[in-house]
Amino acid sequence: MNPNTTLLKSSLSPKSQPSLMKSNKPVDESKLVFRFAIVSRLLILTLIITWRSLLTPYDTSATLNPNCLSSNPNNTTTEAHDSVLWPSIGSAIESSIVWDGVYFVRIAQCGYEYEQSYAFLPLLPMLIYAFSRTVCAPLVPIIGYRAVLGLSGYAINNIAFVFAAVYFYRLSLLILKDRSAALRASTLFCFNPASIFYSSVYTESLYSLFSLGGLYHLISGGNTVATLFLALSGSARSNGVLNAGYFCFQAMHQAYDAIVYKKRFGLAVQSLAAAAVRLLCIFAPFVAFQVYGYHNICLRRISDETRPWCKAGLPLLYNYLQSHYWYAHSYINLYPFLIISLGVGFLRYFHLKQLPNFLLASPILSLAFFSILSYAKSQPEFVFSLGFWSPGEEKDLSAVFYSLGESRSSTTVHIPDIYSRTVRGISLKHRLPYDFPLIYLLKKP
């Protein structure tokens, strides 16, 4: 045999080219998204520090910090600034606790003292309290307890955002079956226009983490883990309970498939019963918190001090708080020509005076509307029948929504988006599409 031929064969054999095979190994985009998320958070935090150093903040609520009403020694840790090692750093952190962050930090520090504080669900305050008593506890003598609470809130939300971005990439990959599109969508999520809320003491990051994680596990077949995640999303934000709609949709299609195609009525009942249990688990944290509020506000007071909502046939604390405190009285003048009303309730936000805010939100609203319209035109039978009357091939392609097949679809209509446009006010209209960013998955067919 020709020695040159032997040499050529040996050079082309797989064993002789480990470096070449290694170079063809696909890049782990999850790690890349992880890095993008960290860089985006560092960038946002840098901008926050820069602008707060250069400009006077509009909201001055950070300075409102009276002593806790409770005499519990765990709640009276409001050190004087002269008793901590670095009071200037502590003051800087405390001055950044504004808007809803004031409520979350106050609840973590003092508990639920006032009626209006029950509008803020307990997951974030509980995590802030736990974080401040464990990981950040050594910093209390250095910057003060309230600053540690604020720092804990920042740490929790930024960490949650990073993992939310990773979950979003994995979810995108399951739906799109396209690594480059999933990476592009995740990058847009990392640098989205609502980034400030993900890096502040707000609930957006936790809500996104558990909502995206829950949907990822649902599509992957992990119904138990998905139920836990979606229940936690409802403990972070009230609209998280609407994620139960995914299990409703899944159960409807499983029952329809069992009755129409498999002729097994028992299997349909089993699917609906399992979904009912999951729905109860998702709603349980939110309902339990409403019962907790009812017990503290209604049952612990004498009859003369009973609040109006306590006497209702179905005393709904959350609805009363939103309508009484955030609709009837909350008007914020940001600019002479712009008045933002934090109206809450079905269609209560739709007023002529809100036109500037709708114009401000028009880009994202237009993109969502025309994307849904385009998809509805391309597959009207599937859209308007919710997939029940679709041809078999289309039904298999949309199996991502109810776990009946292996193929995946790339479009969905998210119920909380509809909810935010009809019930919630201006802030959620800008933030919710980014809280649950399936809009980034839109792509050309």
Tens digits of residue pLDDT in 95-152: 888 888 999 999 999 999 888 899 999 999 999 999 999 999 999 999 999 999 999 9
Residue 217 has which token pair? 């596990």
What pLDDT band is residue 422 in, cutting at 50, 70 and 90? very low
Q: Determine contact, residues 344/322, Cβ cutoff 8 Å.
A: yes
Contacts of 149 (CB under 8 A, 6+ apart): 105, 108, 109, 128, 129, 132
Q: Quick check: 430 pLDDT over 50? A: no
Q: Quick check: 435 pLDDT over 60? A: no
Which of 11-20, 128-137, 210-219, 224-233 is predicted with the least confidence, judged by mean pLDDT?
11-20
Backbone φ, ψ for residue 340 (5° rounding) = -100, 120
Q: Which residue has the higher pLDDT, 183 or 328?
A: 183
Q: Quick check: 229 pLDDT over 90? A: yes
What pLDDT band is residue 49 in, cutting at 50, 70 and 90? confident
Distance CA 437, CA 212 (A): 9
Closest CA to 150 of 97, 80, 106: 97
Mean pLDDT score, 54-66 = 70
User: In terms of DSSP H, where are the helices of 55-144?
Assistant: 87-95, 100-110, 123-133, 140-143
Mean pLDDT score, 36-47 = 93
Q: Quick check: 418 pLDDT over 50? A: no
Q: Which residue has the higher pLDDT, 382 or 41?
A: 41
- For residue 96, the model assigns a pLDDT of 83
3-state secondary structure of 349: coil
3-state secondary structure of 338: strand
Q: Quick check: 355 pLDDT over 60? A: yes
What pLDDT band is residue 50 in, cutting at 50, 70 and 90? confident
Which of 42-51, 59-68, 212-221 is predicted with the least confidence, judged by mean pLDDT?
59-68
Q: Where are the beta strands (DSSP E) in 276-409?
A: 331-335, 338-341
Q: Determine contact, residues 345/323, Cβ cutoff 8 Å.
A: yes
- For residue 348, the model assigns a pLDDT of 60
Which of 86-100, 374-388, 416-430 is predicted with the least confidence, judged by mean pLDDT?
416-430
Q: Which residue has the higher pLDDT, 176 or 334?
A: 176
Which of 224-238, 243-257, 375-389 is predicted with the least confidence, judged by mean pLDDT?
375-389
Which of 148-157, 311-320, 398-407 is predicted with the least confidence, judged by mean pLDDT?
398-407
Percent of the residues in the chain that have a pLDDT greater than 70, as a whole number: 70
Q: Determine contact, residues 146/105, Cβ cutoff 8 Å.
A: yes
User: In terms of DSSP H, where are the helices of 115-222?
Assistant: 123-133, 140-143, 145-176, 179-190, 195-198, 204-219
- For residue 405, the model assigns a pLDDT of 38
Backbone φ, ψ for residue 395 (5° rounding) = -65, -40
Q: Which residue has the higher pLDDT, 392 or 166?
A: 166
Stated pTM of the model? 0.78
Amino acid letter at 131?
A: F
Residue 169 has which token pair? 């990439």
Contacts of 397 (CB under 8 A, 6+ apart): 407, 408, 409
Q: Which residue has the higher pLDDT, 294 or 27?
A: 294
Q: Quick check: 423 pLDDT over 60? A: no
> Residue 174, Cα to own-chain centre: how many angstroms?
19
Mean pLDDT score, 215-219 = 93
* E strand or H helix at 232: helix 223-236
What pLDDT band is residue 410 in, cutting at 50, 70 and 90? very low
Q: What is the dihedral of CA 357, 363, 368, 371, to 10 degrees?
A: 150
Which of 68-82, 151-165, 187-201, 344-358 is predicted with the least confidence, judged by mean pLDDT?
68-82
Which of 31-35, 92-96, 302-306, 365-369 is predicted with the least confidence, judged by mean pLDDT?
302-306
36-45, 335-344, 425-434 — which one is most confidently predicted on average?
36-45
Mean pLDDT score, 297-318 = 78
The number of beta carbons lying within 10 Å of the beta carbon of residue 357 is 20
Closest CA to 151 of 84, 88, 96: 96
Percent of the residues in the chain that have a pLDDT greater than 90, as a whole number: 35
Mean pLDDT score, 184-188 = 91
Contacts of 23 (CB under 8 A, 6+ apart): none
- For residue 48, the model assigns a pLDDT of 85
